[in-house]
A and B are shown apart, each in its own frame.
Chain A
Amino acid sequence: MTIALPAAPAQAPRRQILVATAMASASAFMLIIGMVGMWLKFRAGAPTRTSLDGLKIIKDWMPAGITIPEVAANVMLITFPVGALMAQWAAYSAKRDDAPHRSLGLAICFVIGLAIVNAQVAVYSQMDIGLADGQFQTMFYAITGTMLLLVVGAMVFSLVAFFRSVGGRDNDTDVINAHAFYWYFLTTAFSVVWFVVYVQK
């Protein structure tokens, strides 16, 4: 038997999860920017040829016959800010101790994540390209697949925050703010990927 004084109260951390999420997001943003940089490098290095009428120089990066479904890609671009908006709504509700709307916002974020995954699968399905068909195809799957993993990460985050919310954690503002921050990061990262991969191609 040991007789001891009670332990000192734990020091309250200052927005630890938000700070960690911000840094993890910055790190993940560098991952995406690095991959976009590689994409641009290979795109710039692709061979060029003159068009049949001799008026245009064509870069042989995306093979002829491949069509990027712009509707699905644009819908994804619009869906990301909606997800961020819902995450911010959850953060706003958490600040006002509005538990039902907080939980609803988080649940909608999860569903929006599902919708984005669905749209990405639709893009793959409509493009109908094989991963090993060529340079463009391989790099396309690598970069969009990585983005998809980050979205799945957001869904897991939304789900965990949702269960904490319905479980009655009313002082969970740090987690919910961090969750909103992650959705803002995803929106920014996808905007870059959308412009470089889906628009510039």
Chain B
Amino acid sequence: MTIIDTHVGASTHALGAGSAFVVSVGHWITSSDHKKIGRLFIGTSLLSTVLAAVLGLLFGLERMSPAHMQIFHGDATPQMFALYQFALVLGVLAPLFVGIAIAVVPTQLGARAVAFPRVAQFGFWAWLFGALMVVISIIGNGGPGGGATDLVDLYLLGVALAAVGLLAGSLCVATSVLTARAPGMTLDRIPVFSWSALVGSIATLLSLPVMIGTVIYVYVDHTYAKLIFGGNKGIDSFLGWSLSQPMTFVFVIMALGVLAEVAPITARTEQPLRPIVLAGLAIISTAVLGAVTQSAHILDWAGTNSDKVKSTLLHSLFNGLPLLGMLIVVLLSLLCLKVGTPRITASFALSLLGALMIIVGVLGNGLYNLKPASLDGTVFSEGTVLYLVYGGLLSALGALSHWAPLLWGRAIDNTKLLGLALIGLLGTILASFPLYIAGFADQPANIVMGFDYGGPIALWNILTGLGHALIVLTVVGFVALLIDAVRNGASVSQEASA
């Protein structure tokens, strides 16, 4: 038996409200507790979601009437689009799942902490400061195409720093899964979400450095020479691939893992084909091939038969394989429902709807890369990104509601959350699908004015804006439900929720 004396000064009860707040903030800033680091990632990513969705809403409003409405002026438009893309992919999608993995994976493995908690902590702060540097540089006219040279350099440094932070987080997650499992827990016995976290983290570790290498070239050239990469105007053409497909496929691997984890619990049965689910999650990681080659491979049905076969094979490899992995996971998760005795839970609804939205996004990307569809350079690609990011967001909210008892000791109201899931689904579809239609009508990408086409321009773009507004509502509503649960909800044992 050990006797622990708590120093009076260390107790927040003995301090005034202000001092207690400072102590609490200090604990959060310096904490190496994996749950706190994970929650920091999650909270900041949700904040970033609101920023991205508000930008999407503003773009929707401006594009509603491209001839008259003007919210962003001159060089601001391409820079705000860069911020929008950065916020969606490296501000929401990637860090949200890294945060969930850091918070949840060690508990699933029976480990006391994540591997290298200080590195994980560094990862969060590096990502946060990188993201802040990106925002500050764009506010100061330093984004891609911006005029402030020094701030363009800051933008590039910010992107690299944010990527380094995500790499640090992924490294900790992957190392935890490989080295900190409870005795007897072999790799084929780990929970499905931990498996997806391992696959997703390794895929991130292999693909993000390629982006950092590109940033190094662009930074050196922009700072010293401005000879090769087109100066500030050329940044987007060299870095754009890292904020779109197939790079985004790498970041949604864990979203599918959430569904595969939650489905058997919802169905109150075991997954009958677990090894195939694990294989399906691993197959999604073939998206790394597309990410590191910075290519999605266009299917061009022209030329000789040999050319056609070659083009089809590459298109299938780069677009079809990740889709196949996702379909395997979703179908086998649904199989659980058939085998077991399911009950409706918000976490399952959110993760299933999220996975379905992701699949629509991947299908859209396959279509985007068909040359006969002539979608290159249209807003169709933005619709695809939104399906993937908001689909990933829904899955992440499902994961958070599923593991809320583990992370906050409280369960979130299931009925209210189901309503929120429907709003989130509607928001995702409204934000993305009109852009698919507008893409077929040749609405140009990354432009808010000076375009015209034969179709209801205002309708498609206002619907998109409305979708973004609903996503803001979903996130704010989720946070409100969570706060309500933490303040007023009944305590739930962690064992019951794990």
Contact = CB atoms under 8 A, between A and B. Distances in A.
Contacts of B210: 30-31, 33-34, 37
Contacts of A35: 213, 216-217
A20 B228 contact: no
B202 A23 contact: yes
A11 interface: yes
Interface stretch (A95-103, A119-127, A130-138, A156-164): A130-138
A142 B220 contact: yes
B179 A4 contact: no
Contact of A131 (B202, B208, B220, B293): B220
A192 B206 CA distance: 17
B191 interface: no
Chain A interface main SS type: helix
Chain B interface main SS type: helix
B209 to A, nearest CB: 4
Contacts of A6: 1-2
The size bracket of the interface on B is: 35 or more
Contact of B179 (A19, A42, A131, A139): A19
B206 A16 contact: no
A14 B181 CA distance: 9
A34 B163 CA distance: 15
Interface in A1-30: 1-6, 10-11, 13-16, 19-20, 23-24, 26-28, 30
Contacts of A142: 216-217, 220-221
A7 to B, nearest CB: 8
A30 B202 CA distance: 12
Contact of A141 (B2, B179, B206, B220): B220
A91 interface: no
A32 interface: yes
Contacts of A132: 224-225, 227
Given A5-B2, A26-B206, A11 B111 contact: yes
A38 B217 contact: yes
Interface stretch (B3-11, B129-137, B274-282): B3-11
Contacts of A38: 213-214, 217
The list of the 10 closest CB pairs from A to B, nearest first, reads: A34-B210, A34-B213, A31-B209, A132-B225, A35-B213, A142-B220, A30-B209, A16-B179, A20-B175, A27-B205
Nearest to B211: A34
- Among B180, B224, B225, which residue has the most Cβ atoms of chain A within 10 A? B225
Nearest to A146: B216
A4 B225 CA distance: 64
Interface string A85-99: 000000000000000
A173 to B, nearest CB: 15
A19 B198 CA distance: 13
Contact of A13 (B179, B202, B205): B179
A10 B112 contact: yes
Interface string A160-194: 00000000000000000000000000000000000
A32 B212 CA distance: 10
A20 B206 contact: no
12 contacts: A2-B6, A3-B4, A11-B110, A11-B180, A14-B179, A23-B202, A23-B205, A34-B210, A35-B216, A131-B220, A142-B220, A142-B221
A134 B228 CA distance: 8
Contacts of A16: 115-116, 175, 179-180
Contacts of B171: 20, 23-24, 27
A194 B11 CA distance: 59
Contacts of B293: 37
A33 B213 CA distance: 9
A135 B227 CA distance: 6
Contact of A27 (B6, B112, B115, B167): B167
Contacts of A24: 171
Contacts of A4: 1-2, 4
A27 B209 contact: yes
B207 interface: yes
B217 A139 contact: yes
